[in-house]
Amino acid sequence: MPPALALETMERWDKLIRRQGIRLSQLQSAFLGQHHIAVINPELQDRITEIIGYKLDRTVTLHGIGAPLLQEHVSRCGHG
């Protein structure tokens, strides 16, 4: 992969993962403010919070491994 394409790919990866993180943070904030869910079904609120937290953790992990994976690919192809 040519360096210019690698940089473009990294920027696109970064943008997509950041956008997903923002969406999940907004979703988490929206649910944390919904106290009526906790009154109606506390287990549901706990489960939703758990799922969103898990997805946020996965997003951070994906963001962290994206650049090293791409750098490894570029170096294996002889362009790095």
Structural domain of 18: 3-75
What total of structural domains would you count in the chain? 1
Establish if 80 belongs to a structural domain.
no
Residue 36 forms part of a structural domain: yes
Calpha distance 21→1 (Å, rounded)? 27
Residue at 23 is within a domain: yes
> Which pLDDT value is given to residue 54?
92
Asked if the structure places residue 53 within a domain, the reply is yes
User: Does residue 26 lie in a domain region?
Assistant: yes
What the block records as the tokens of 8 is 């473009």
pLDDT of residue 79 exceeding 70, the answer is: no
Q: What confidence tens digit (pLDDT) does each residue in 7-39 have? A: 788 888 888 888 998 998 898 888 777 777 767
- Which region, left, alpha or beta, applies to residue 21 given φ > 0 means left and ψ of -120 to 50 means alpha? alpha
Q: Which of 40-44, 53-57, 59-63 reaches the highest mean pLDDT?
A: 53-57
Q: Has residue 4 got a pLDDT over 70?
A: yes
Q: How far apart are alpha carbons 46 and 30 in whole angstroms?
A: 14
> Among 35-39, 55-59, 70-74, which range has the highest average pLDDT?
55-59
Phi, psi angle pair for 70, to nearest 5°: -65, -40
Backbone torsions φ then ψ of 41, nearest 5 degrees: -150, 90
Stated pTM of the model: 0.65
